[in-house]
Amino acid sequence: MKKIELEIVALSHSITQTHSYAVVLGEMNGLRRLPIVIGGFEAQAIAVALEHMHPSRPLTHDLMKNFMNAFGVELQEIIINDLQEGIFYSKLVCFTDNDTVEIDSRTSDALALAVRFGCPIYTYENILENAGILMEDSASPKTGGEAIGIEETSGSKDDLSAMSVETLNNLLNEVLEQEDYIRAIAIRDELNKRK
């Protein structure tokens, strides 16, 4: 089967499930999007890597990357290779000097590692056909130079816009101490708007 390359175009709170997030993958040079519901910890791990944040201690996916690097294992690509009853299945394609190995993975973990390794993300046509969303022609597809959209709930944005710069800076320090990196990104974006 021909592989279709995807890229992460957005990360937001899931509308359908509370305490969950949705990562939206977009077809490279195409108009189809593939939304995948993921957990909060995995969303945080993806957001930290996308925003080039450096937590004081390594997150689980950072540890995994460090472990793989220490033993000469490189993540070549991830493939979202199956969809069963609304659940996406993925595999990590890893290689060393001597071998190439495919490892079963949750899609959220595979995406968190792909962002850290900077490797391509692929899926197959049948998965995009079954679970993808076609964007209208007027909505231009994301290009490599655009920023990734990391969205907070609308209530959170309204709350942030009403706060003073000093309050936002204090809140930013608090959420960083709590390691709530998704909220930290929203606060940082609000502070940047005001500069």
Q: What is the pTM of this model?
A: 0.74
According to CATH, the topology of domain 3-151 is Bifunctional nuclease domain (3.10.690)
Instruction: Round to whole Å and give the CA distance between 51 and 31.
Output: 24
Q: Which two tokens stand for residue 33?
A: 């999007």
Q: What is the phi/psi pair of residue 29, to 5°? A: 55, 35
Q: Which two tokens stand for residue 82?
A: 């199956």
Dump pLDDT digits (tens) for 45-103.
999 999 888 888 999 999 999 999 999 999 999 999 999 988 999 999 999 999 999 99
How would residue 17 be classed by pLDDT, with cut points 50, 70 and 90?
low
**Residue 143, CA distances (Å) to 52, 59, 138 in order:** 19, 29, 15
Q: Give domain limits for the chain.
A: 3-151, 153-195
Computed over every residue of the chain, the mean pLDDT equals: 84
* Residue 179 half-sphere exposure toward CB, CA atoms < 13 A: 12
